[in-house]
């Protein structure tokens, strides 16, 4: 799901334009010389960086606990790297925010390895995608991830590639803890004897290719030196060695066909037989090696009997955890049982898998309609803080993501449940990761007496959304976001999880958003909505623009004029061809959409003046466009007359309190500024300034200019970082330090009401807000 948001500049519930807003305020122009020169200087403050609380928001691919050190555990995610649990503060701590923009491929964890004898030692295998160009790396720590040594890996990794839900590919040899083995996706099995610094190929492993997903777990037997179990992503792919890799043996008796109970008519499984995904060596040494026993939960060994319409769909089982205190007590979770109705579940056994209790079914309150889930009141942290977006608004037709339960009051038990952990220090505490968050209970024992355990969310501190849009209006909530997969939020409080953007209601307006709804709505355009109450409730446009349907995947970008009466919607974000129509406009809340004159490119590089009504700007292929009639007609000026670089394009950034004042961030072509509605432009700063992302915020005390925020470079060869200027771009101060780089921003947004504050949206590390430390921060 993709959401783009844009807000009316007048985030007021009335519709009256204050008269003083209608006349452009005059502003000193830095290009006009000393008489009107801005006050000089930008104070270099230290900053405080905080996550905007969403609490999860992406796929939790692994939860790994240290075998002996109490409360020490780590979580890995597919696009947001790794976190360490901090028991004292009851939250997860992000470990790799130092990753520089050029190393963005390290922002995902393929595997975590812990040293069983030294709890301070931590190894992270970092690499998001298997590519030739972006190397993967090992992050090696002696202080639980506070600091790392980094070594480039001689093979690629893919934490966000297919097969990311498998077990731990990286493992420490308990008999020689400087030695690690790593099962790779494309290059077979490797060994390091110097703590992941250098690696050699163990070339005799029998199934090195593993269907492109490779070798998916490595397990050292802690009781027998030289015995290692290694699984590859192929049927019959489970091998062991007893001589430290000199010779390999297939574990006999592996399933060579699918259990008919796991199949259903007409569905062809992706493989001829089950393939190993994860394995546990229980404390009694049982990996069920020599004698195989089918311990699959099924209709005959599970209580309570499954809800009637439930079919035992294909997919299978992935996550597994064995009680550290009892090798016969285990949980397994299913994977990919979509489509439901019961979907993915958790099964609990005390007899080594002979019989199971269905934890998800027992946790589901009555009147569930067969959709096993948690009462939404349980979507809260242990301290009671609600995580309301996990309701997914009970939108029954949410689409393929599998997130919501259609039963109002119930949030789905889970999907993409591949990581599960019985807490080694409390057998009643179990946690499982989903495609969105981590659920936990301290009452697993209740299942034994067929009662529902009380569940809660244990993902506080994990922020792994992909941020696609940010807006900070001049009134109401300080922040609106558009987020990959989970639509977006109105952040009424930055430090508390919020509800997902809602659809209902009819109130006075100001916010508009477009995005793939994934759904067909019979009574309006599900892909374009506006809100008259600062984004609390939303109304669908009666019709979509031509080319956009209810379920169009990529729906473009929408802008709303200062009077909140005219909307302009570019239905795609392609800058050509010129024979098409330009962005459509409506003056009647989407009852009719009109193709404009004077702009015949469907460009997404458009925005609305924040002060002067009916005024829209577009900048495409070096040509600057302005409309003063609500997007019905445009006047264009070529690069030869504006002085702007030929061929360039960008979304014009408009001042929130001054009509006609605009900026254009043009990457390596620099940052450009106009104070006269785009009639003429000047370049800010040196020619070497690189303006990747740009935004403005509240001016410094006593200054006339808004604070400028720039992600890019302010000097040739300087750091790629985020900067602030308090003097209209004459001087810049770096905001972030090397510890706060997040692999680079995907979007930035200043706050027009809090001096110094900037929001940074990442692709996989959620939203960070940076405030001047010890001051400058107004109450939210
Ligand atoms: C490592 O060995 C495997 C065979 O086990 C082979 O397929 C792979 O190409 C080798 N890779 C390198 C880089 O030597
Ligand atoms: C379950 O039990 C029924 C009735 O006893 C039997 O027909 C069926 O084969 C059993 N299924 C499995 C998978 O054992
Ligand atoms: C949305 O889809 C429904 C069903 O396909 C259709 O009846 C309706 O007209 C569509 N709405 C819009 C605005 O396209
Ligand atoms: C625009 O022109 C190109 C090149 O002539 C052509 O391929 C394309 O189909 C045209 N598009 C439309 C919408 O007419
Ligand atoms: C804006 O223009 C640039 C340069 O032509 C282009 O790469 C980019 O896709 C455009 N952005 C949108 C949102 O249309």
* Ligand 2 close to Cβ of residue 263 (< 6 A): no
Query: What are the backbone angles phi and psi of residue 315, rounded to the nearest 5°?
Result: 115, -90
Lowest mean pLDDT among 465-474, 607-616, 643-652: 465-474
Is 90 exceeded by the pLDDT of residue 228? Answer: yes
Ligand nearest to the CA of 261: 2
Highest average pLDDT, of 99-113, 313-327, 543-557, comes from 99-113
Please report the sign of the dihedral spanned by the C-alpha atoms of residue 359, residue 365, residue 366, residue 371. negative
* Angle (CA) 440 443 448, round 5°: 125
SS3 of the chain: helix, strand, coil, percent, to 5: 5, 30, 65
For residue 544, the ligand 3 atom closest to its alpha carbon is 13
For residue 300, the ligand 2 atom closest to its alpha carbon is 1
The contacts of residue 33 (CB under 8 Å, 6+ apart) are none
pLDDT at residue 47, rounded to an integer = 96
pLDDT at residue 345, rounded to an integer = 85
Name the residue with higher pLDDT: 368 or 586: 586
pLDDT band with cut points at 50, 70 and 90 for residue 32? very low
Lowest mean pLDDT among 153-162, 421-430, 516-525: 516-525
Q: How far is the CA of 206 from the centre of ligand 5 (A)?
A: 49
Lowest mean pLDDT among 17-21, 586-590, 683-687, 773-777: 17-21
Is 50 exceeded by the pLDDT of residue 250? Answer: yes
pLDDT at residue 507, rounded to an integer = 29
Closest to 537 (Cα-Cα) out of 564, 509, 567, 560: 509
- Catalytic annotation on 485? yes
Is 90 exceeded by the pLDDT of residue 515? Answer: no
Strands 228-232 and 671-674: unpaired
Q: Tens of pLDDT along 614-671?
A: 999 999 999 999 999 999 999 999 999 999 999 999 999 999 989 999 999 999 999 9
Q: How far is the CA of 542 from the centre of ligand 3 (A)?
A: 9
* Ligand 5 close to Cβ of residue 188 (< 6 A): no
Ligand nearest to the CA of 578: 4
Q: Tens of pLDDT along 253-279?
A: 888 888 776 666 566 777 888 888 888
pLDDT band with cut points at 50, 70 and 90 for residue 283? confident
Over the chain, what is the mean pLDDT? 85
The contacts of residue 731 (CB under 8 Å, 6+ apart) are 40, 41, 42, 725
Q: How far is the CA of 580 from the centre of ligand 4 (A)?
A: 7
Highest average pLDDT, of 6-10, 505-509, 707-711, comes from 707-711
Is 50 exceeded by the pLDDT of residue 30? Answer: no
668: which DSSP letter?
Answer: T
Single pTM value for the model = 0.88
Q: How far is the CA of 350 from the centre of ligand 2 (A)?
A: 21
Is 80 exceeded by the pLDDT of residue 373? Answer: yes
Q: Tens of pLDDT along 345-364?
A: 899 999 999 999 999 999 99
For residue 299, the ligand 2 atom closest to its alpha carbon is 1
For residue 578, the ligand 4 atom closest to its alpha carbon is 1
81: which DSSP letter?
Answer: -
pLDDT at residue 725, rounded to an integer = 97
Q: Which of 604, 622, 664, 667 to mutate to test the pocket of ligand 5 (most atoms within 8 A of CB)?
A: 604
- Of the chain, the percentage scoring pLDDT greater than 70 comes to 84
pLDDT at residue 523, rounded to an integer = 77
Q: How far is the CA of 522 from the centre of ligand 3 (A)?
A: 5
* Ligand 2 close to Cβ of residue 152 (< 6 A): no
pLDDT at residue 317, rounded to an integer = 82
**Annotated catalytic residue within 259, 442, 485, 621:** 485
Sketch out the chain's domains with CATH numbers. 4-52+465-772 (2.130.10.10), 76-257 (2.130.10.10), 277-460 (2.130.10.10)
> How far is residue 191's CA from residue 178's CA, in Å, rounded to a whole number?
11
* Ligand 5 close to Cβ of residue 645 (< 6 A): no
Q: Which of 295, 299, 306, 354 to mutate to test the pocket of ligand 2 (most atoms within 8 A of CB)?
A: 299
* Ligand 2 close to Cβ of residue 298 (< 6 A): yes
pLDDT at residue 579, rounded to an integer = 58
Ligand 4 first shell, C-beta below 6 A: 577, 579-580
Q: How far is the CA of 727 from the centre of ligand 4 (A)?
A: 46
Q: Tens of pLDDT along 431-458?
A: 999 888 999 999 999 999 999 999 999 9
- Catalytic annotation on 14? no
Closest to 361 (Cα-Cα) out of 312, 308, 304: 304
Joined tokens for residue 518: 């994934």
Number of H helices, E strands in the chain: 2, 53
> How far is residue 681's CA from residue 674's CA, in Å, rounded to a whole number?
5
For residue 189, the ligand 1 atom closest to its alpha carbon is 5
């Amino acid at each position: 799901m993709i959401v783009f948001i844009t807000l009316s500049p007048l985030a007021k519930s009335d519709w009256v334009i204050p008269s003083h807003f209608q006349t452009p305020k005059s502003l000193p122009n830095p290009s006009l010389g000393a008489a009107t020169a801005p006050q000089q200087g930008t104070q270099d403050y230290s900053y405080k960086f905080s996550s905007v609380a969403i609490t999860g928001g992406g796929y939790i691919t692994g939860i790994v606990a240290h075998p002996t050190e109490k409360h020490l555990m780590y979580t890995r995610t597919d696009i947001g790297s790794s976190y360490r649990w901090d028991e004292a503060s009851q939250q997860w701590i992000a470990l790799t925010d130092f990753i520089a923009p050029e190393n963005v491929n390290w922002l995902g964890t393929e595997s975590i390895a812990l040293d069983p004898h030294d709890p301070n030692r931590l190894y992270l295998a970092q690499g998001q995608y298997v590519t030739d160009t972006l190397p993967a790396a090992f992050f090696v720590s002696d202080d639980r991830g506070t600091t790392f040594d980094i070594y480039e890996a001689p093979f690629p990794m893919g934490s966000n590639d297919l097969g990311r839900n498998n077990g731990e590919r990286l493992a420490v040899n308990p008999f020689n803890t400087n030695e690690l083995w790593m099962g790779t996706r494309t290059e077979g099995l490797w060994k390091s004897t110097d703590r992941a610094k250098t690696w050699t190929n163990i070339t005799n492993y029998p199934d090195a290719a593993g269907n492109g997903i490779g070798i998916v777990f490595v397990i050292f037997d802690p009781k027998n030196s030289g015995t290692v179990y290694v699984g590859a992503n192929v049927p019959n792919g489970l091998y062991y060695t007893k001589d430290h890799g000199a010779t390999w043996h297939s574990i006999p008796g592996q399933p060579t066909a699918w259990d008919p109970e796991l199949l259903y008519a007409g569905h062809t499984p992706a493989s001829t037989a089950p393939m190993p995904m994860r394995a546990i060596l229980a404390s009694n040494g049982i990996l069920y090696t020599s004698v195989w026993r089918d311990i699959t939960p099924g209709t005959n060994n599970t209580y309570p009997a499954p809800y009637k319409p439930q079919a035992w769909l294909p997919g299978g089982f992935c996550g597994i955890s064995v009680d550290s205190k009892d090798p016969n007590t285990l949980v397994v979770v299913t994977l990919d049982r979509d489509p439901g109705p019961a979907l993915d579940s958790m099964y609990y056994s005390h007899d080594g898998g002979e019989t199971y209790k269905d934890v998800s079914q027992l946790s589901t309150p009555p009147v569930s309609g067969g959709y096993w889930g948690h009462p939404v009141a349980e979507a809260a942290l242990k301290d009671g803080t609600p995580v309301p977006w996990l309701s997914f608004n009970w939108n029954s037709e949410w689409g393929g993501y599998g997130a919501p339960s259609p039963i109002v009051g119930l949030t789905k038990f889970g999907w993409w449940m591949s990581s599960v952990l019985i807490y080694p220090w409390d057998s009643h505490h179990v946690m499982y990761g989903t495609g969105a968050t981590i659920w936990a209970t301290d009452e697993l024992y209740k299942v034994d007496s067929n009662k529902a355990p009380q569940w809660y969310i244990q993902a506080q501190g994990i922020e792994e959304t992909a941020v696609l849009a940010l807006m900070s209006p001049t009134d109401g909530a300080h922040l609106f976001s558009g987020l990959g997969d989970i639509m977006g939020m109105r952040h009424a409080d930055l430090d508390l999880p919020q509800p997902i953007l809602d659809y209902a209601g009819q109130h006075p307006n100001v916010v508009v958003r477009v995005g793939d709804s994934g759904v067909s709505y019979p009574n309006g355009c599900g892909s374009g909505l506006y809100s008259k109450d600062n984004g609390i409730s939303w109304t669908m446009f009666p019709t979509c623009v031509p080319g956009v349907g209810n379920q169009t995947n990529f729906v473009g970008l929408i802008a709303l004029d200062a009077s909140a009466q005219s909307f302009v919607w570019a239905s795609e974000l392609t800058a050509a061809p010129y024979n098409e129509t330009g962005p459509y406009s409506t003056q009647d809340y989407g009852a009719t959409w009109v193709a404009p004159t004077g702009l015949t490119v469907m460009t997404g590089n458009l925005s609305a003046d924040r002060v002067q009504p009916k005024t829209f700007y577009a900048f495409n292929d070096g040509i600057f466009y302005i409309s003063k009639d609500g997007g019905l007609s445009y006047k264009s000026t070529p690069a030869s007359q504006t002085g702007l670089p030929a061929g360039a394009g960008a979304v014009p950034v408009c001042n929130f309190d001054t009509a006609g004042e605009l900026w254009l961030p043009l990457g390596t072509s620099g940052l450009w500024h106009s104070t006269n509605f785009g009639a003429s432009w000047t370049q800010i700063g040196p020619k070497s300034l690189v303006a990747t992302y740009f935004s403005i915020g509240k001016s410094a005390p006593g200054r006339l200019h808004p604070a400028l925020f720039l992600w890019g470079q302010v000097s040739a060869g300087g750091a790629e970082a985020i900067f602030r200027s308090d003097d209209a771009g004459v001087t810049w101060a770096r905001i972030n330090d090397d510890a706060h780089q997040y692999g680079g921003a995907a979007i930035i947004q200043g706050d027009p009401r809090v001096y110094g504050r900037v929001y940074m949206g990442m692709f996989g590390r959620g939203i960070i807000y940076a405030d001047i430390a010890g001051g400058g921060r107004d109450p939210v």
